[in-house]
Structure 1
Amino acid sequence: MNEFWDQRYSEPGFAYGMEPNTFFVEVLDSLTPGRLLLPGEGEGRNAIYAAGKCWEVSAFDQSIVARDKAREWAESMDLQFDYRLASMEEFFCPDPIFDLIAIIYIHLLPETRLQVHRQLSACLKPGGKIILECFHKNQLRYGSGGPPIKELLYQEDDIRSDFTALDIDLCEEHILDIFQGKFHSSKSSVVRLIANKPF
């Protein structure tokens, strides 16, 4: 799997564009800057935006090509963030230190998804927030991005059951026009989550 992502991110330009995810921006801009975790961050579009807004950003991804590309971009912008090399299964957070965790287009098989989502929940401070935007199972109707495998796509019940330890403010399907690089384009079905860790 590392080879797949290294190859994708080795292509000229940015696979998913340079603009941050719209939902991520909406939520981030409504919050006081703090500590942010970005799993599977890819080439750094969300990390760059958040670092420029004075967030203390930690990110990880399994692709060394993506990590190096993000670091080079950050250096060119005179921005800094911590970017580590790790898969979703390998990442471990020993203490609840993050104010915000953003899960943006990370698609996992059901057994791995549950494990990862619960581990990420444990990384939140009390009062911290998790947001998620991923392709919905209905995305197969559109074919405009994401994995073409139903088991790797999500629906509301999946996400609610993964985050039972959190208070869920929003968990619903949205139909959006997405234009994020050449791999996410046109009308799409996504599921969005906003959830808070109780004090």
Structure 2
Amino acid sequence: MPVRQQDLPPGPAGVTITRTGGEREGVAMTHGFDKEYWERHWQQAGAADPGRAGGGPPNPHLVRETGDLVPGTALDAGCGEGAEAIWLAAHGWQVTAADISAEVLARAAARASASGAAERVRWVEADLGTWQPGTPFDLVTTHYAHPTIPQLDFYDRIADWVAPGGTLLIVGHLHTAHLHTGHLHTGHGHGADHRPPAEASATAETITARLDGAAWDVATAEECHRTAVTREGGEIPLHDVVVRATRRR
């Protein structure tokens, strides 16, 4: 359905954040990751760390999986504090970075201005469970996003936004019964004491099973474990699922 848009007041250095609105059409929420949750989360994060500059380095899976792609248009779905969007912009992509939280988008826009990447990033405040971008992208990527709709339905939605010949990159929480322990994903809302719920996770098999083999070529479908360094200098284990696929022309 058509999306209503309005420009919010200019952000840092003239950055504009676009707000989209739209009514949900029969899609039930299965968990509490709504706008109120994320605004409260990011406000609390800012209050707890007033000097927080925002995020850390970009997700290493993004860096690895997109290094051989020719830059074009990209969507970062659930961009958080913007590390991945800014990295893509710095490497020649024209990026649309969407998130449900106005609080975190303002933080991300400020970080982009400081990095010199602001001109190549469009920040959009949107519920990705209802939003329609209106145009396909050469790259659609998401990193540990917790949407307002079921996780696999969210992946289906963003896959529809990939242009023919374009790339879908999903980096998510690995769903394994004994692995729902501490996760930290800098810039995407997890702290060392936060455990992503089972409904916010997936496996490579459950994701790739939703991709029509007649329309997609799957290049990467892996489940991996790694260690990240927290803002305080500690280490925490991460359990990731990574799927990269190309839409056939």
1:181 Cα deviation after fit: 4.7
Letter in 2 for 1:101: V
Distance 1:14 1:140 in 2: 34
| CA-to-aligned-CA distance 1:83-116 (integer Å, 9 cap, x gap) | 11001212213333x111111102358x633432
**Paired residue for 2:25?**
none
Residue 50 in 1 paired to residue 83 in 2? no
1:196 Cα deviation after fit: 0.6
1:135 Cα deviation after fit: 1.0
1:43 Cα deviation after fit: 1.0
Distance 1:124 1:104 in 2: 16
**Paired residue for 2:164?**
126
1:153 Cα deviation after fit: 1.4
Distance 1:174 1:31 in 2: 22
Q: Which of 146, 160, 166 is matched with 1:107 structurally?
A: 146
Matched-pair contact (CA < 8 Å) for 2:151–2:199:
no
SS for the counterpart of 2:150 is helix
Matched-pair contact (CA < 8 Å) for 2:180–2:198:
no
Letter in 2 for 1:107: H
Residue 70 in 1 paired to residue 108 in 2? yes
1:157 Cα deviation after fit: 2.3
Matched-pair contact (CA < 8 Å) for 1:142–1:188:
no
SS for the counterpart of 1:157 is helix
- TM-score, length of structure 2 as denominator length: 0.70
Distance 2:97 2:244 in 1: 19
1:119 Cα deviation after fit: 2.4
Residue 190 in 1 paired to residue 240 in 2? yes
Structure 2 residue ranges without an equivalent (≥5): 1-33, 184-189
SS for the counterpart of 1:162 is coil
Question: Which protein is richer in helix relative to its size?
Answer: 1
Structure with max Cα Rg? 2
* 43 and 167 in structure 1: CA distance in 2 versus 1, 3 angstrom threshold: same
Distance 1:58 1:104 in 2: 14
SS for the counterpart of 2:56 is coil
Q: Which range is displaced more, 84-93 or 141-150?
A: 141-150
Letter in 2 for 1:169: A
Paired-residue identity, %: 23
